[in-house]
Amino acid sequence: MNTQERNEKIELYGRGYDLLKATLAEVPQEAMSFKPEPKEWSVYEIIIHIADSETNAALRARKLIVEPGGSIMGYDQALWADVLNYHEHNFEDALEVTRLARKTTYELLKRQPEDVFNHFIIHPEYEEPYTFEKWINIYSAHIPGHIEQIQNNIKLWEDR
């Protein structure tokens, strides 16, 4: 990935929260708990997942910057949703966690010198090094991917 491509993805990452909020403004309150299938997430659960994922992403970005070559933890997102009972979490708090994790990490990324983006860390779910490029690709697409999931949930809710 060249510098321009990386910067475009960092900007997309920086807009993620606003894109999410715009999408949520279109979701009927009655649809928030709708699950398309028993093992699939409701919009409510998606938002709590995003907060957990974004806090992990923020930590991973910092680890990439400060401790290249170090190790990070993986996590089983489906298990977290189940064991942590995502429907018992505060929705507004999850949005605020997401907003702050995105904001502070975006600002941090914008301040980094070029050579930092060559760093990598060890991730237990990947055989190859977990590069900053991989991080940027994953997390710039994370919220947009869940926006599609939310929109699909709403369409299925409306069609039922």
Secondary-structure percent of the chain, ordered helix, strand, coil, rounded to 5: 70, 5, 25
Which structure tokens are listed for 122?
């060890």
Give pLDDT, residue 86.
94
Give pLDDT, residue 160.
87
141's CB contacts (< 8 A; 6+ apart) are 12
Give pLDDT, residue 137.
97
Which structure tokens are listed for 60?
């991973």
Strand pairing class (130-131; 120-121): antiparallel
Local mean pLDDT, 10-residue blocks, the chain (160 residues)? 96 98 97 95 97 97 96 92 93 98 98 96 94 96 98 96
The single residue listed with the structure tokens 């189940």 is 82
Give pLDDT, residue 129.
94
- The three-class DSSP label of residue 131 is strand
The continuous run of DSSP H or E covering 145 comes out as helix 132-159
User: Which phi and psi angles does 112 have, rounded to 5°?
Assistant: -80, 140
Under 8 Å between Cβ of 107 and 65:
no
The continuous run of DSSP H or E covering 97 comes out as helix 91-110
Strand ranges in the chain using DSSP code E only, listed in sequence order: 120-121, 130-131
Q: Domains in the chain, ordered, with CATH?
A: 3-33+40-159 (1.20.120.450)
What residue type is 105 in one-letter code? T
